[in-house]
Amino acid sequence: MITEEGKNQSEEFTEKVKVPDACVMVIFGASGDLTRRMLIPDLFKVYSEKLLPENFTILGFSRKDLDDESFRDSMKSSVIEFTDKDNFNHDLWDKFEKNIFYMSENYDDQNSYIRLRDKIESLENDKNIKGNRLFYLAVPPDSLSPILKNLAVCGLNVNESKRSWTRIILEKPFGHDLESALKLNKKIRQYFTEDQIYRIDHYLGKESVQNILVTRFANGIFEPIWNRNYVEYVEVTSAESIGIENRGGYYDNAGALRDMVQNHLLQLVGYTAMEPPSSFDSKSIRDESLKVFQSLRPINIDEVEKTVLRGQYTSSKIRGNASEGYREEKDVREHSRTETFIAMKFFIDNWRWGGVPFYIRTGKKLPTRVTEIVIHFKPTPYRLFKSKHDIAESYNMLVIRIQPDEGILVKFAMKVPGTEFKVKNVNMDFHYSDLSGTQLPDAYGKLLIDCMLGDSTLFIREDAVEACWRFIQPILNAWKKYPDIKVYGYPGGSWGPDCADDLIAGRDFKWRYPCKNLSDDGNYCEL
């Protein structure tokens, strides 16, 4: 709960964001789902908050046969659908859409990029833009190579002048395995320098992720105990209540390990475990997170079955309603062994975290949508106030909630009122929504502004991508070498295979469950 004093001081939490110089933002794959659901709605929101210049210009580039007007109408419908419909500002949209344009072109045709170059130069002249160009590649991986090459052939990969900039934003996946990631990075560096490349992970744009650094490094009460001397184990969970949502073609070739662990969750681990940076700048912060990835203890291929558990949701009833299993989803192979759930245990071999287990868990069709980091602190040396409760209940926890209700929760023991010394765990809970007059920026909006300002702090560097893949690759190798490694079926609406608790060190520990199972059937099976 925030006090009146806290409410009066809430303006201190609202930082005045710098407005970047105007640019032409070219969105490759402009007719796709990411543009419709995320990019344009978030850009319109930051525009409405006056965080973009009036002449900021969007140029859609895609194969779909549209013109400026039809593209604008489509984007308007999307903004209304995916934002606050009741407060949609039609007059402001009318101003915003005057700077939205579209080209129906082919990614493989060099002549399309000649026309693109001419269109960009024309817009820069009309809108008085000083040569700043941002290329957002919201396209499948197999389209990256021709786009990168053709941009370079037409001279669109270099700065127009010393006072202008040219940058590209790449969406995940950053490769399918270590070998493909190395090849992709080499391909990109043929045409763009590393300081031009912004690999985006929208998780890092969330306010609570960035607040991990502030929680740790701005508070003297946390950092002294943020180490192996006081921490029993660290748990990172990212649960989704939905299934694969008609993405069977993509997901069946990716799976939870590639889709979530290699990027999102390892990045959260990097922020949680990193050493204090020498200064709060992009290079220092990314250098420290890289050291974490380089310190991940390699998982031996023969140990994968003991430290990594995978599951796949099966048909079930959730709140009484029938729910399809993964193999029944569209474009999924009949006997697919692709994991929709993964839990794993690993260690970080450095001075701070030596011997402390880290646990990662993520899955589809779990009981709720939640992403959180849980720091489990060691218990007192002697349990003076004994109870019948599980020993894990006596542990202090710090929970950093990433989504959906962003905030921080501290769990500690208090005496229950009465004549006896009965102890109960209580919560000290902070929600960002409690800050009066403070709106959390959307992740994509925040990251796009950062890119335009040239701030790469929250973007993933080439060496970090490769370090994360080096850690993940032995798991992929083990699944390929030993195809009989089990894939456990779990009912949709449950918290995954019951045996996932076996990963947590000792019988007295288990995953934190923010809510109960919703499945009518809590059993699991081997597929």
Q: List the one residue out of 170, 155, 266 whose CA is nearest residue 209.
A: 266
Choose, from 90, 176, 264, 335, the residue flagged as catalytic: 264
* Dihedral angle, C-alpha 208, 292, 286, 224, nearest 10 °: 60
DSSP run (H or E) holding 317: strand 316-318
- Degrees (nearest 5) of the Cα angle 314, 320, 323? 30
Who contacts 23 (Cβ-Cβ below 8 Å, separation ≥6)? 56, 57, 129, 132, 133, 134, 165, 452
Pairing of strands 423-431, 487-491: unpaired
- Degrees (nearest 5) of the Cα angle 512, 303, 514? 10
* Chain centroid, CA 61 distance in Å: 25
Cα(48)–Cα(60) distance, rounded to whole angstroms? Answer: 20
- Degrees (nearest 5) of the Cα angle 512, 517, 520? 160
Residue tagged 């203890």 (tokens): 297
Residue 488 sits at φ, ψ, to 5 deg, of -90, 130
Is-catalytic flag, 264? yes
Give whole-number Cα distances, 460 to 94, 128, 269, in Å: 35, 32, 14
Q: Burial, 486: exposed, middle or buried (Cβ in 10 Å; 0-12, 13-18, 19+)?
A: middle
Count of other CB atoms within 10 angstroms of residue 473? 18
Q: Burial, 177: exposed, middle or buried (Cβ in 10 Å; 0-12, 13-18, 19+)?
A: middle
Who contacts 298 (Cβ-Cβ below 8 Å, separation ≥6)? 470, 471, 474
- Prior bond of 173 cis (ω within 30°): yes
φ/ψ region of 343 (left if φ > 0, alpha if ψ in -120 to 50, else beta) reads: beta
Cα(250)–Cα(140) distance, rounded to whole angstroms? Answer: 10
CA distance between the termini of the chain: 47
Cα(214)–Cα(225) distance, rounded to whole angstroms? Answer: 15
Task: Give me the active site residues, please.
Answer: 264
